[in-house]
Amino acid sequence: MNNIIYHNPNWSKSRKSVEILQNEGIDFKIIKYIKFPPSINELKSICEKLNLKASEIIRKGEKDFKENNLSEIIDDETALLNKMIQFPKIIERP
């Protein structure tokens, strides 16, 4: 199985994404990333596949982003990836 959804059941868009995949009959694995954050290698792989930097898949309006002054490290890819693991709510929704 190659399809993975990083899912937060508390968010309606995430639930809707799961519903769409199920309705389309697409086989996928759910990872509840708030409880089980992706590793730094998984995050790097996601960024590579999307051809995006970590800063482009961050929720800058999220409380954890603001309260931890993560804007100060926005251009430090490695530091930001580590903060994404520490504060998974800052990872953009599917």
52 contacts 59 by C-beta, under 8 angstroms: no
43 contacts 31 by C-beta, under 8 angstroms: no
Q: Is the pLDDT of residue 94 over 90?
A: no
CA 53 to CA 28: how far, in whole Å? 25
- Say if residue 12 is exposed, middle or buried (CB neighbours under 10 Å; 0-12, 13-18, 19+): exposed
Within a 10 A sphere around the Cβ of 87, how many other Cβ atoms? 20
pTM exceeds 0.75: yes
Predicted confidence at residue 1, as pLDDT, reads 62
Which tens digits make up the pLDDT trace of 32-71? 999 999 999 999 999 999 999 999 999 999 999 999 999 9
